[in-house]
Structure 1
Amino acid sequence: MTDAKYESSIQAKPWKRWLKRGITAVFFILVGVLLFSLVRNMDWNAVVETLRGYKLPLILMGLGITAASFVVFSSYDLLGKIYTRHELPIKQVLPLAFVCYAFNLNLGAWVGGIALRYRLYTRMGLDVSTVTRVLSVSLVTNWLGYMILAGMLFSFRLLQLPQHWQIGAFGLQLIGFALLAVSIVYLAACRFSPRRVWHWRNHEIALPSLRLALMQATLGAANWSLMALLIYVLLPEGVAYPGILGILLVSSIAGVVTHIPAGLGVLEAVFIALLQHQVAKSEILAALIGYRALYFLIPLAVACLVYLFLERWGRKRS
């Protein structure tokens, strides 16, 4: 159904118009409630005190790393643009993707990664199936980069686990081999598979080219690496970067499993458990508070402003 037919059908049937307005109102209320919950549970005194303890050059470096990471993060949707060949210009895709990822990190994937992306993209003229494919490319990009990095770190035992961890170094190494195997199978399928398209229910799944898959692997790995780099520069000297990257990857899976927005408490628990034999707990917590402020809260504040602009632009377009 085209946009014109969709709008005319809404005008012809008042209940559809009220349903659309109701869904919009519920969405805004949900976002507001989640934002309030995030703000209420944040220890703002600790955030301020931690940032005061960092010197200006370090904060500027952290902001630079954060900006670079979000540029890479937002570029996931540019791969979706290449994959789907939709006609939205880059100047619209990048700010939209930035808003979605900032909300995703702070409020969870269902709000930022899915609901917000569908809302904004459809208001800009994309159909639902195209948005689904863009989202799919984004998810594969993120987790392909994750699997490659985690696979390499775990396979070469670059992450030192405490002795009491039941999984053990050998178990983690096996997981690393498995992650690398899945990544290699995906890349090989993109290059050699004679069948390029599958149908599942009403969705068409098409394998990307090897070139696009390699771009996915590069961007995904680069973003995870930048996130770990930010934590690394905030921690005291003497901590190895590969270890920080490995701990971040482990904590991210724990955050996904627990479904806690922004991984509140999960990130800190994993870092303390795996790093306390090298760094004092107070220094670990200080670094992670600084990380949350620079990578979560500041981008979220900017994203809220950009989101209002996108909503206003969408209303003018419709």
Structure 2
Amino acid sequence: GVKLKFTSSALVSFVGYTFSKNIGFTFLSGTSVRFRLYGKWGVVGGKILVIIILNYLTFWLGFFALSGILFTLWPPVLQSAVRVPFGSLKVIGIASAGIYVLYMVVVSLRKRPFRIRGKSFTLPGRSFTLVQTGISILDWLLSAGVFFMLLPPEIGYFEVLGVFLLSQFAGLSSQVPGGLGVFEALTIIILSPSLKPDILVAALILYRIIFYLVPFIIAMVSFAAGELLYRGSEKP
């Protein structure tokens, strides 16, 4: 229900997402940026909180839906290329699919609003959730595609996607800024039987620059420029 220009929504989305990715501690980095930007554009705190919750839901809905599909339907292909030390990939797929289905059941059946810190909000219905999921899946597919393009042709896209999902989940769960070290270490451990470690390290460094460092620099410049322009407009 918030009316904003597309450019404003795009800016806060890009800056908030990039800060969360690089700094970690999402509720202190990306959330703070979103509160600052939305707030100065006149969006009230309750609506900002709802926007942020929907943002995080979108991100993880795509992850669990895609993981559920990938690890359940393609485990033989992935299992031959992806060596995981914690059991079958199909188990991970079933668990991910179960989480996603459970959420879909909740949004389909629960009609009463949820309450957080005195604020009430209602989760979107099934149609909106499916759109959220589709957008998030596309985001995950493109993100993995960046890493795939940096690797030699000996390994297929679905294998890279499987490793990417596992490593990103580990990095994000660690709350280490940008998953630095965690994402790289797990990727090397899983893919080293298929690819030489030096090739993997080179690809991971390039991926870190392309996907993290360059967008972070652009986001910092954009945020700083926006703050300077806003303060300049406030002066009499």
Shorter-chain TM-score above 0.5: yes
Q: Is the alpha carbon distance of 1:129 and 1:313 closer, same or farther for their aligned partners in structure 2, counting shifts above 3 Å?
A: farther
Alignment of 1:43-82 (within 5 A): none
The 8 Å contact of residues 162 and 274 in structure 1, kept in 2 or not, is answered as yes
Residue 287 (1) aligns with residue 224 (2): no
- The secondary structure found in structure 2 opposite 1:199 is strand
Identity rate, percent: 30
TM-align CA RMSD? 1.8
C-alpha contact 2:21 2:178 (8 A) present in aligned 1? yes
Alignment partner of 1:139 is 2:56: yes
**How far off is 1:237 after superposition?**
0.7
Structure 1 residues 1-318: aligned runs within 5 Å: 85-108=1-24, 109-156=26-73, 157=75, 158-160=77-79, 161-162=82-83, 165=85, 167-169=86-88, 172-190=89-107, 192-193=108-109, 195-315=111-231, 316=233
Given the superposition, is the C-alpha separation of residues 274 and 252 from structure 1 closer, same or farther in structure 2, using an over 3 Å criterion?
same
Counterparts of 1:119 and 1:242 in 2: how far apart (Å)?
39
1:129 deviation in Å? 1.0
Q: Is the contact between residue 172 and residue 178 of structure 2 (CA under 8 Å) also seen in structure 1?
A: no
Find the residue that maps to 1:168 and give its secondary structure.
coil
Q: Give the 3-state SS of the residue equivalent to 1:159 in structure 2.
A: helix
Aligned partner letter, 2:96:
L
Deviations 1:119-148 (A, max 9, x none): 121122111111110000000000000001
Q: Is the 8 A contact 1:145 1:224 kept in 2?
A: yes
CA distance in 1, matches of 2:155, 2:104: 33
Provide structure 1 residue ranges, at least 5 long, that are not aligned to the other structure: 1-84
Q: Which residue identity does 1:90 align to in structure 2?
A: F
Higher helix share: 1
Tell me what 1:57 maps to: none
SS for the counterpart of 2:154 is coil
CA distance in 1, matches of 2:103, 2:150: 35
Structure 1 position 187, deviation (Å): 2.6
* d(CA) in 2 for partners of 1:122, 1:241: 41
Q: Which amino acid aligns with 2:65?
A: I
Per-residue deviation, 1:118: 1.1
1:267, 1:143 → 2: CA distance?
A: 17
Give the partner amino acid of 2:83: P
TM-score by length of 1: 0.68
- CA distance in 1 between counterparts of 2:229 and 2:3 reads 17
SS in 1 for 2:120: strand
| Partners of 1:289 and 1:178 in 2: CA distance | 31
What whole-Å deviation, never above 9, does each CA across 1:28-86 have from its counterpart, x for those lacking one? xxxxxxxxxxxxxxxxxxxxxxxxxxxxxxxxxxxxxxxxxxxxxxxxxxxxxxxxx11
Amino acid of the structure 1 residue aligned with 2:67: A
Cα distance, 1:196 vs structure 2: 4.2
Amino acid at match of 1:115: S
Q: Retained in 2: the 8 A contact 1:196–1:207?
A: no
Q: Is the 8 A contact 1:122 1:128 kept in 2?
A: yes
Deviating more after overlay: 199-208 vs 283-292: 199-208
Structure 2 unmatched ranges of 5 or more: none
For 2:141 and 2:29, locate their aligned partners in 1 and report how far apart those are by CA, in whole Å: 22
1:200 Cα shift? 4.0
Q: Report the structure number with the largest CA radius of gyration.
A: 1
1:110 aligned counterpart, secondary structure: coil
Q: Is the 8 A contact 1:124 1:314 kept in 2?
A: no
Residue 194 of structure 1 deviates from its aligned partner by 5.4
